[in-house]
Amino acid sequence: MQPKARAVDEQGRLLDQSQPTRFLAEAAPDGTTRLAVAVPAERLQAVHAAMVDLLQAPLGVLYVQLVDRQAGQQHEEPKRFVGVDLQPASVHEAIASAAGLVYGDGRHQLWVKGARGAQIILDELGMIWTYPDDPSFREALARLGVDEGDAPSIGEADYVRVELVAEADVQEAALIARLGLQELPGGYR
């Protein structure tokens, strides 16, 4: 599977830079703790699914559309689609059936929140964020061979090209429908 985003130079030429396999603990802007997880594109689906597996049911899902690829525009204010009281099996099935969108297209962010407030965010660059920095997340990452380290990730590149894939348009609509996500009114933050 192609990466959601790639590092490029000022002229937009691809840099020969592979995504590392590592995580870093850090403080979020609101003072909470989180883990920033970077893995190569070929491992993204497995690591993301393992992190979502750790969340307790029922789950909430927030799909944040940053770009409307079909209209050819980036939203000034992202569109947000939300679903609550979802069972883990249905969330996993919906994500797996839209894998090309979720793991290979940078038009969106996907937030999955567990019953106790822990959440996993997959951003538009292919970075995984776990909230909070919890021992269960660290143990799962260790089992997956993702070690703590400070190798630079795609999120630290000076210039990034986000991939938008036409084939993912159908998957985006299907993911929203399959999970019964409802669009939040404009201006919600």
Q: Which residues pair with 147 in a beta bridge?
A: 22
Chunked in runs of 10, what are the mean pLDDT values of the chain (189 residues)? 86 77 90 93 96 97 94 89 97 97 97 96 96 95 93 77 92 97 77
Residues 6+ apart with CB under 8 A from 126: 3, 4, 5, 19, 41, 44, 103, 106, 154
Q: What is the C-alpha to C-alpha distance for residues 17 and 154, in angstroms, rounded to an integer?
A: 9
pTM as predicted: 0.93
Kindly list the domain boundaries of the chain, sorted by start residue: 5-151+159-183
